[in-house]
Amino acid sequence: MLQRIQTVYWGLSLVCLSVLLSGLDLIVFQKDDLTFKLSLYSLKQYDVTGKVFKESSNYNFVLILLLLIITIYSIFQFKNLKKQLNLAKWVVYFNLLISAMLIVFSYAGMIVSNPLSIKLNFWVALLFVSSVFSILAYLGVKKDKSLLDSVDRIR
């Protein structure tokens, strides 16, 4: 299980997603005298002095936790390659969906209406890096499945 390259890719993907769960600010919005900071746990609104003016919680972290659970489950399905391939496909889709939702919602003004500026922090890149690692893991599972299928044809 650990000697397979897709396990390494999924492990790196898990590390990227786990860093996001630490509560780092992903996106910063500026609107008039207010600053909005979006993390996986909440959207905090700061006034001019830098104090939290208003805080509304969101549940984006549930999506990341669900993605972590599916990824861990797919790692341990190494004996059933067909199921692991299907789970790997869902991990890729889900990872890309979460990344796209974050970017689209932030730029469409659905989080803060008519912001003056939008700043994506470095941590948003971890979502995309995690997506790349998930795709590489999927390709690794697909390669293993094709290798085993060719061996079965030879027998």
* pLDDT at position 73 over 80: yes
- Per the CB < 8 A criterion, the answer to whether 87 and 70 are in contact is yes
Residue 85 parent element (H or E): helix 81-107
The residue written with tokens 């599916």 in the block is: 70
What tens digit of pLDDT does each residue of 78-132 get?
888 889 999 999 999 999 888 888 877 777 656 666 667 777 788 888 888 999 9
φ, ψ for residue 114, nearest 5 deg: 50, 60
Tokens of 13: 């993907």
pLDDT of res. 116: 73
d(CA 89, CA 74): 10
pLDDT of res. 109: 59
pLDDT of res. 24: 83
Domain boundaries, the chain: 5-23+59-113+122-145
> What sign for the dihedral angle of Cα 67, 24, 127, 3?
negative
pLDDT of res. 71: 92
pLDDT of res. 108: 63
pLDDT of res. 147: 85
Query: Pick from 130, 5, 10: which is nearest to 75 by CA?
Result: 10
What tens digit of pLDDT does each residue of 16-37 get?
999 988 888 888 888 778 888 8
Count of beta carbons in the 10 Å neighbourhood of residue 48? 10
pLDDT of res. 86: 92
Query: Pick from 120, 85, 78, 80: which is nearest to 102 by CA?
Result: 120
The residue written with tokens 């692991």 in the block is: 84
**What whole-number percentage of the chain has pLDDT above 70?**
92
* pLDDT at position 13 over 90: yes
- Per the CB < 8 A criterion, the answer to whether 55 and 45 are in contact is yes
> Residues 41-47: what's their mean pLDDT?
80
